[in-house]
Amino acid sequence: MARVRSVVIPAAGLGTRILPATKAFPKELLPLVDRPIIQYGVEEAAAAGIDRVVLVTSPGNNMTAAHFRPNPALEAVLEKRGKTESLALVRRVSELAELTTVRQEQPLGLGHAVLMGAPAVGGVPFAVLLPDDVIDADPPALRRMVELFDELNGPVLLVERVPRDAVNRYGIIEAAPLRPGVFEVRGLVEKPDPADAPSDLAIVGRYILTPDLFAVLERTGAGAGGEIQLTDGLRELLAKRRIYACELAGVRHDAGNRLGFLQASLYFALKRPDLAPALRAFLRTLE
């Protein structure tokens, strides 16, 4: 089976959970410490050998793509001033991946956003990464998923156990265990009531998918919340082929809501030797 080389990153949503910060500014560019949220995801993909990014953005947003493109004027100034460390940081971002941008004219849902990536992906397997879900894992989550895809020859979803009262915020799978941490998916439902949920295994922002999904998404109508849901497309695909799930072994933050964003900021700052001691001391003064 073909190597997974492309990742579709949908970033054309409205970001209503973190307004007013995202009224004019793209959510995925909000910084966690000193890197935009989306850079964590692109670095994770690069660490999994995925070097083509298909970025799905809203019509007015040119900033997100610019973050991953070279900035010759800035580089020239940094070079002239001898700021070699900053120069290396800036250059590294534009060397992470080859970028293609596609537009989603209206935020019709995650399934629709993924479908917009179809021409850029072509007829080969691909990854989908939701930038809000920032994952710290070793090995990186996407790398484990690509390995599993190579072994099982079918789509792989990343799942995490969530509290029962939170299942109505996620796509939830019905699962048959294959071995520890690996499942075969038997059913999928988007945002179920806790009483109806088939399990507590929630799909979290990473997917390895096959191109036959695109034809299914073309036919998928609006579902929960009036949006074209990726979970609904996957449920239709499940009627045609086996789908697998892999349980997250690592830490995930949902940086797309206020509390999750703050927690992710502190989590990554406290992992930084240059910042952690002073930040810890400051946090103690607040207690």
Residue 211 corresponds to which tokens in the numbers above? Answer: 């191109």
Residue 44 binds ligand UTP, judged by CB under 6 A: no
Q: Name residue 213's amino acid.
A: L
Rounded CA gap, 69 and 228, in Å? Answer: 31
Shortest CB 103 distance to ligand UTP, Å: 10
User: From the list 61, 64, 101, 104, which residue makes contact with ligand UTP (rule: CB under 6 A)?
Assistant: 104
Residue 66 binds ligand UTP, judged by CB under 6 A: no
Cβ proximity to ligand UTP, 16 vs 84, nearer residue? 16
User: From the list 7, 45, 55, 56, which residue makes contact with ligand UTP (rule: CB under 6 A)?
Assistant: 56
Rounded CA gap, 58 and 63, in Å? Answer: 11
- Strand, coil or helix: what is 120? helix
201, containing H or E segment: strand 201-209
Rounded CA gap, 63 and 43, in Å? Answer: 18
Residue 53 binds ligand UTP, judged by CB under 6 A: no
User: From the list 37, 102, 132, 229, which residue makes contact with ligand UTP (rule: CB under 6 A)?
Assistant: 132
Cβ proximity to ligand UTP, 36 vs 109, nearer residue? 109
176 pairs with which residues across the strands? 184
User: From the list 173, 256, 260, 264, which residue makes contact with ligand UTP (rule: CB under 6 A)?
Assistant: 256
Q: What does the H/E/C string look like for 144-163?
A: HHHHHHHHHCCCEEEEEECC
Residue 120 binds ligand UTP, judged by CB under 6 A: no
User: From the list 4, 50, 54, 130, which residue makes contact with ligand UTP (rule: CB under 6 A)?
Assistant: 130
Rounded CA gap, 131 and 129, in Å? Answer: 6
Only one of the segments 44-52, 100-108, 145-153, 207-215 lies at the binding site for ligand UTP (rule: CB under 6 A); that segment is 100-108
Q: Which positions lie near ligand UTP, rule CB under 6 A?
A: 10-17, 56, 104, 107-110, 112-113, 130-132, 256
